[in-house]
Chain A
């Protein structure tokens, strides 16, 4: 049985309440940091743990914290990014729904480490039920002396507030989130300055994902060094994976980083294999933004090594033959799924969600959606594939925020690995309206890969 740090007590009845969470060892990390550690000690432990941002970018959390400016007399803020909007990702909703105190405890530990006296949890507006759950958890923590003025008699004050978003994917980008939290449109800011210098209300600010903040609790309890022994290489600790698509057991799983992808997909402990006795065609391993990989490349790297659930192994081979761990949104496609249709669907999503500031993204995402729809509906021509490639290439790297890249990568990867399926749509416009292309050469069990 794999080691769990965040979801250890997920099945305990009443774990959503303060009382049961506390009985199961909750808020011990708050006591430890407030009574025995300095803020610098906590930052040091998080650095030692090797924790990397769980929202998708994978930037080392401890390093991000150490960039925080600390000018005299200026408030500092911790803002939790609970805008979870990346298609395929639903781990934060799961954690907040079932163990809200894991986030609240992490917020207190992290706020203490950063010297923040007011912290915000920015939750996407659609998660109203989770907002209520968090507000109740905050009230419980306050009643028990873990929040508010003079926490545990230490002289440290902290208030946590929950802020609803309004239904905009872009607000998961940290500077768009800060704009939104200031009551504005979610237009990402030009960086620098980075939020660590000028963030919320122009004050030094750290923005961290829900799971990253919750992970500081086991890091404090175990110690950073012990936490770093879990996982492999620079992928330390555990990760919540949101598994969806055509699998037997969709849901949220906590894995030790380093688990083989094949085991994650096929073992009964996790996804339980492909649903309805079908075969696997492709996987999007880290949320809709990361490159889609055909079955053979997700299970083994181009060099023939077993692919592991780690930041390094999933990106092995670069974008030519690899992908990214991203947010851990693991979407599995069976043999009946159409890659062209899915790529069009994602392109429409990014077009819909583009904030419109940068021309390459605002216009390019619209072009990609239209051209993909044309191919999918049986009106494409061969030059459209090259046009798509050209458009995505001109978006990537040419925008203020990563939404442009996120829109370009899925289109590029679909063409790179499934070009024959695009061509088939174009050469067989009528047939493509009545049946799907199927597996072609991507079938699992694995075929030998010719590089």
Chain B
């Protein structure tokens, strides 16, 4: 799973995106532009939905670092999606405190409702889901988040999950 092999040769960074990169790099002392790598990878993922090898190569050029310096970071941090996923990636907390209040039950429900296993994409390309580790919202569990804005949905039960998925479907129709 954590390999950099997915290519998307159509990646081009728009002037608007490059302007955001520039703002990021301005936060660090001169010569320390590599510090911008994580924020820039987030921007890339928000723009394209995932982080392809080609996008990483271009980020490397932009930051004057080697491609491997980008790959090793993108594969280390779990938030970066290294292959195309559904338009909405539902990330549900699977760690202890959420499990005390029913997270495992909700994960089972998600799988049933969407009809795909963890990590897979629904046939309409709209949804993926995966369990993630503690999201620091233990008092409001079970919780799930949806990128790129990372909106939180708290105190979940089956009905709330159904409503959320139906709303997202309606939004895209």
Residues of A in contact with B (beta carbons under 8 Å apart): 75, 84-90, 92-93, 118, 120, 124-129, 161, 163-169, 180-186, 201, 242-246, 250-252, 284, 288, 329, 331, 333, 337, 341-342, 345-346, 349, 352-353, 355
Contact = CB atoms under 8 A, between A and B. Distances in A.
B139 A167 contact: no
20 contacts: A75-B29, A93-B136, A118-B29, A120-B27, A126-B135, A127-B150, A129-B151, A164-B42, A166-B42, A166-B76, A167-B80, A168-B77, A169-B134, A184-B73, A185-B73, A201-B29, A244-B97, A288-B134, A329-B97, A329-B138
Contacts, number: 154
B134 A349 contact: yes
A136 B15 CA distance: 24
Interface in B133-173: 133-141, 145, 147-152
A180 B41 CA distance: 13
B18 interface: no
A167 B77 contact: yes
Interface string B90-107: 000011110111000000
Given A161-B27, A168-B78, A183 B35 contact: yes
Interface in B2-47: 27, 29, 32, 34-39, 41-42
Contacts of B76: 166, 168, 185-186, 355
Contacts of B101: 244-246
Contacts of A120: 27
A87 B95 contact: yes
A352 B29 CA distance: 33
Interface residues of B, number: 45
B23 to A, nearest CB: 10
- Residue among B29, B36, B69 facing the most chain A CB atoms (10 A cut-off): B29
Interface string B121-139: 0000000000011111111
Interface of B: 27, 29, 32, 34-39, 41-42, 63, 65, 69, 72-73, 76-80, 94-97, 99-101, 132-141, 145, 147-152
Contact of B140 (A164, A183, A250): A250
Contacts of B132: 126, 167
Query: Which 7 pairs between the two chains have the least Cβ-Cβ distance?
Result: A166-B77, A167-B79, A183-B37, A244-B138, A250-B139, A183-B34, A128-B150
B77 A169 contact: no
B139 to A, nearest CB: 4
A136 to B, nearest CB: 15
Given A167-B78, A168-B78, A349-B95, A127 B73 contact: no
A246 B138 CA distance: 11
Given A126-B145, A126-B150, A168-B76, A337 B136 contact: no
A87 B150 contact: no
Given A87-B97, A167-B77, 6 more contacts: A128-B150, A244-B97, A244-B101, A250-B139, A284-B96, A288-B96
A183 B73 contact: yes
A127 B150 CA distance: 7
B137 A125 contact: no
A438 to B, nearest CB: 15
Nearest to B41: A166
Contact of A90 (B80, B99, B138, B148): B138
Nearest to B37: A183
Contacts of A165: 38, 77
A342 B94 CA distance: 11
B2 to A, nearest CB: 12
B96 A126 contact: no
A418 to B, nearest CB: 15
Contacts of B42: 125, 128, 164, 166
Contact of B99 (A85, A163, A342): A342
Contacts of A341: 99
A23 B106 CA distance: 43
A250 B141 CA distance: 9
Contact of B96 (A75, A87, A181): A87
- Residue among B73, B139, B145 facing the most chain A CB atoms (10 A cut-off): B139
Contact of B138 (A89, A127, A167, A337): A89
Nearest to A165: B38
Nearest to A345: B96
A331 B136 contact: no
Contacts of A164: 38-39, 42
A289 to B, nearest CB: 11
Contact of A124 (B37, B73, B136, B149): B136
Nearest to A334: B100
B96 A90 contact: no
B100 A333 contact: yes
Contacts of A90: 136-140
Contacts of B99: 341-342, 345
Contacts of B36: 183
A188 to B, nearest CB: 13
A203 to B, nearest CB: 9
- Residue among A166, A167, A341 facing the most chain B CB atoms (10 A cut-off): A166
A178 to B, nearest CB: 10
A377 B132 CA distance: 22
A233 to B, nearest CB: 28
Contacts of B150: 125-129
A349 B97 CA distance: 12
A166 B79 contact: yes
Given A87-B97, A90-B137, A201-B32, A166 B78 contact: yes
Contacts of A167: 77-80, 132
B100 A244 contact: yes
A182 B137 contact: no
Contacts of B32: 182, 201
